[in-house]
Amino acid sequence: MVASGFGSAILIGTAVLSLPIATESGERAPFVDALFTATSAVCVTGLVTVDTGQYWSTFGEVVILALIQVGGLGIMTLATLFAILVSGRLGLRTQLIAQAETKTARLRDVPHLVRNVVLFNVGSEVVIATILSVRFFTGYDMPLGEAVYDGVFHAISAFNNAGFSVYSDSLMGFVSDPWITLTVAIAFIVGGIGFPVAFELARSWRRPRTWSVLTRITLAVTVPLLVIGTVVIGLTEFSNPGTLGPLDDQGKFLAAFFASATARTAGFNSIDVAAMHPESWLFTDLLMFIGGGSAGTAGGIKVTTLGLLALVIWAELRGESKVNVARRRVPESTQRQALAIGLLSVGLVAVVTMVLMHLSPHRLDQVMFEVVSAFGTVGLSTGITADLPRSGHVLIIVLMFVGRIGPLTLFSALALRERARLFEYPEERTIVG
């Protein structure tokens, strides 16, 4: 149902974007370009084969914006519902209470959840759009109508972690403007950590001891990754004349933080990604692969998966038979699910990278960056997207679709289809390592 729902939205978007009115030239867009853009929008990725602001008309841009909203809102709603089904801990009435100990979610409470998710989504976008519109209007002498349009477009795109921009260079023209870059960064961080975590923090940010395991793991992984990413990218690109080199110290820090945050599936860039050093590309690959929080608009394997795997390793190193966090025991089934998602994702990225290298003349580091960006629904690119052959575009389309719904539906399927075995085989240890 999830796959068919997203697939239907993509097909409708493709059909509308194929209309002559959707392009600036008044000519029909090639089918693959329309399909690629629609998939990227619904899957809130941001990879493009054509310049969004130059190629698509205002009508086409509004269609893209609508697809982003549908995709982002659908992802957040479905992910939150799945979180309830899987964990059985998220109680519902007019609000999501992460500490509730209910065993099941009642169907009559689902409409309240959906309403809260929609209000959270739309309310956040209104605040972000207001800040961006005022800044565009007062700081860059934009006409009021253009400022509001650009503010709304980037607010929806940012909160839903889509990465689409009406500017050809994304946000590079605002690299040193904290009003623009920090507002956009906060938007996709909040949208990426997910509704359950954001709601719980809003309710009990002063009482961290009452936080759920989901919130604890999400913050425990997200914050260090943001800090480490800022430091690593800041150091590797510090003197690079194509990225951070020309900026002052404050500008370097702001740009490095934005580059670290946007790699968590946002897709905007305030520096030239194509000019970054290969080591920065590799580190960004890791950030894009990890992604953001569960039940949010971010992609990747999710920070919760990485956090659970880290806890499993830590418990094994300490010789403990159980994995515990915040005075709670992590079920073995959840540990296996995290391991399955991690290994399957690594395998998928490796296979697609090899195939795409065979189809295109580009280097390994460029191709891998593109593949991880598509799988993690990030949208960052070294500039090779448009140069890929049509077969490569089709492969990226499939990867964006799988990367968007794959981890969500796979985790839910693994959790909801768990079955108890009525017998056990004799145990036999094998050599590991």
The answer to whether residues 210 and 204 touch, using CB atoms and an 8 Å cutoff, is yes
Alpha helix segments (H runs only) across 30-141:
31-42, 52-55, 58-87, 110-139
By three-state DSSP, how is residue 92 classified?
strand
Number of domains in the chain: 1
Strand positions, DSSP E, 291-418: 324-325, 328-329
Residue 429 inside a domain? The answer is: no
Q: What's the mean per-residue pLDDT of the chain?
A: 86
261-314 pLDDT, tens digit per residue, is 999 888 899 999 999 999 999 999 999 999 888 767 788 888 988 999 999 999
**What are the counts of helices (DSSP H) followed by strands (DSSP E) for the chain?**
15, 4
pLDDT of residue 198: 82
In a domain, residue 61? The reply is: yes
* pLDDT (average), residues 167-196: 91
- Can you give the pTM of this predicted structure? 0.86
The larger pLDDT score, comparing residue 94 to residue 279, is at 279
For the cut 60, the answer to whether the pLDDT of residue 353 exceeds it is: yes
216-240: pLDDT as tens digits: 888 999 999 999 999 999 999 999 9
pLDDT grade for 111, boundaries at 50, 70 and 90: low
Amino acid in position 165: S
Strands 96-97 and 91-92: antiparallel
| Domain limits for position 7 | 2-415
Residue 8's region, left for phi above 0, alpha for psi from -120 to 50, else beta, is: alpha
d(CA 387, CA 38): 19
pLDDT band at residue 192 under the 50/70/90 scheme: confident
**Taking residues 309-324, what's their average pLDDT?**
89
Choose the weakest-confidence range: 46-60, 78-92, 370-384: 78-92
- Check: CB of residue 201 under 8 Å from CB of residue 188: no
Q: Is the pLDDT of residue 172 over 70?
A: yes
Q: Please, which pLDDT band fits residue 82 given cuts at 50, 70 and 90? A: low
pLDDT (average), residues 342-360? 93
90: confidence class by pLDDT, cuts 50, 70, 90 = very low
Q: Is residue 330 part of a domain?
A: yes
Convert the pLDDT of each residue in 40-81 to its tens digit: 999 889 999 999 999 999 999 999 999 998 888 776 666 666
The residue with greater pLDDT, 139 or 198, is 139
Amino acid at 9: A
- Both tokens assigned to 433: 């390592």
Q: Which helix (H) or strand (E) holds 96?
A: strand 96-97
pLDDT at 264: 82
Q: Residue 160: which of 407, 408, 404 has the closest Cα?
A: 404
Once rounded to an integer, what is the mean pLDDT over residues 340-363? 92
